[in-house]
Amino acid sequence: MPVTSLRKACVRPPEVAKIKIKIKIKIKIKIKIKIKIKIKIKIKSGECVWFSGYFNSHAP
């Protein structure tokens, strides 16, 4: 039986997992902020008139 089959699979330490999760959360927040800024710019420039009109016509 080869030695490699007896070894336990490499498991990353919880500290590394926590750091990676924090990095992913920061990236997601940055992306959301960029999207919000782009939407605000489009609304100010009047490019999203159809978008705002859609929500106004479909309001409850």
Condensed to tens digits (0 to 9), the pLDDT of residues 11-59 reads 678 888 899 999 999 999 999 999 998 888 887 776 555 554 555 455 4
Q: How far apart are CA 34 and CA 43, in angstroms?
A: 14
Task: Report the pLDDT value the prediction gives residue 9, as an integer from 0 to 100.
Answer: 62
Please state the domain extents for the chain.
32-60
User: According to the model, what pLDDT value does residue 32 have?
Assistant: 93
Task: Write down the pTM of the prediction.
Answer: 0.50
pLDDT at 2 over 90: no
Return the structure tokens found at 29. Answer: 């927040």
Answer whether 48's CB lies under 8 Å from 39's CB: yes
> What integer pLDDT is reported at residue 46 of this predicted model?
67
- Quote the pLDDT of residue 13: 80
